Amino acid sequence: MKFAGKLPEGLTVVSRVLIEKPAEMHVAVCLFNTGKTVVNYDSGETEPVAHIRHAEVILDPEDRALIERIFLRAQSRRGGQQVLPMDLEDDVREAFRGLSIDLATGEVRGLDEDGEQA
């Protein structure tokens, strides 16, 4: 698959962020469709060319955390893994908040009264 070479208008924030922080990984959400297909008549293969219709750079840390969560869930699904419904995932996360598991011993540790690791 290829991407069309032109981004939608109004993405000057993308240029600014890329210039200001060239080594950082950036997060964006985009909407795209098939702009065209290219047919190789020798091989018979058809290759789609994606056209980005709209894109938003995600700068807010809370929004980035949510996008990361959605990204990882989609990646797990694509890999054939079972994914819990988001509300159940939230409940499980809350139930285990403040607990850690020592991977060497399997011991489950909680927090003491001061909020420090016990």
Main-chain phi, psi angles of 31, to 5 degrees: -110, 130
Cβ partners under 8 Å of residue 55, min gap 6 = 7, 8, 11, 14, 28, 29, 30, 31
pTM of the model: 0.63
Residue range 49-94, pLDDT digits in tens: 988 888 888 989 999 999 999 999 999 999 999 888 888 888 888 8
Which DSSP letter does residue 18 get? H
Pairing label, strands 108-109, 28-39: unpaired
Structure tokens at 79: 């890999």
Q: Where are the domains of the chain?
A: 2-59
